Amino acid sequence: MRHETRRRTGSRRLLTSLACALAALLSACAETPVEREIRGEPFEARQLVQSDANRFANLVMRDNLDSLEILLEKLYLRNPAMWRKRPARTLEAARQEVLDAIRKDLPLPGLEDAEGMAVKGIAAVRRAFDADFSGDRAGAYVFGLGTMLFEAWGGRIQLALIHGLDAQRLANAAHNVTVAAWMLGERKDAAGRPLLLANEISAEGRNLSFEREHGKIIGRLDTLAAVIDEKYRRGIIAYLQNLAVGPLFQFVPVDALAP
């Protein structure tokens, strides 16, 4: 009798557990799933003169410029003294001045080397961490990365059929972003304080958003480099394949006699 009671109790518990699991499953199914945004672009006439590789490269450039904009905003928020060094009167105006200089391939006011010459690309990134530089380090850092990307793209944002990309230059650009991210986290002044505040791991919390944004840029560049490299390799392979199998696939007259 006692055994029978235990058996019934166990059965009820099993049924209860199954009912709870089923209810949870139905509840989850009833919820609207989270949909990640697909950031394509609407059709434009200029796309008619762009290959698939051009389109992919243009999207990579678009997204990397967006990432640089995010990095600049984050750096200015963590280092407000930097944007105040710019001639602009507000944070938004200072941010826009840097972004316009990148997109229009213009020199950034206040960013010169020790000889007073305007710098861009990797030279601008290095200048951002020079001990004697008293200007806007955040703006110089992002401007340097942005103009380096323009160099890798042949000095343009949008590619068309007449333009090409070099896979090695893209891979080198990805490496440079890795080095720049390391400099951002490691370069300090004479007192041991970071020249620019970025990632933070402390008792108050963790902020690794800078690292993630750099990682996105690096990943896009590495993927594009592989795609461009594969494009040329596949072109060579297709050519050799056509030479090899082309003679086997020739049209013959329908009334030709078999040998």
Q: Report yes or no on 23 lying in a domain.
A: no
Q: Report yes or no on 246 lying in a domain.
A: no
Q: Report yes or no on 208 lying in a domain.
A: yes
Task: Kindly give the confidence (pLDDT) of every residue in the chain, 259 residues in length, as a single tens digit, with 9 standing for 90 and above.
Answer: 545 555 555 556 655 665 555 555 555 554 556 666 666 655 554 554 457 778 888 889 999 999 999 999 999 999 999 999 988 789 999 999 999 999 999 999 999 887 888 999 999 999 999 999 999 999 999 999 999 999 999 888 776 655 678 899 999 999 999 999 999 999 999 999 999 999 877 667 677 889 999 999 999 999 999 998 886 565 555 555 555 555 555 555 666 565 6
Q: Report yes or no on 191 lying in a domain.
A: yes
| pLDDT value at residue 197 | 93
Determine the Cα–Cα distance for residues 175 and 172; give it in Å rounded to an integer.
5
Q: How many domains does the chain have?
A: 1
Q: Report yes or no on 145 lying in a domain.
A: yes
| pLDDT value at residue 232 | 58
Burial of 224 (0-12, 13-18, 19+ CB in 10 A): buried
Domain that holds residue 225: 45-235
Q: Report yes or no on 259 lying in a domain.
A: no
Q: Report yes or no on 244 lying in a domain.
A: no
User: 8 is written with which tokens?
Assistant: 């019934």
pTM equals 0.75
Residue in 174, 107, 179 with CA at minimum distance from that of residue 147 = 107
Q: 166: which residues sit within 8 A by CB, 6+ positions away?
A: 152, 228
- Residue 200 phi, psi (nearest 5): -145, 130
| pLDDT value at residue 88 | 76
- Residue 112 phi, psi (nearest 5): -135, 160
| pLDDT value at residue 151 | 93
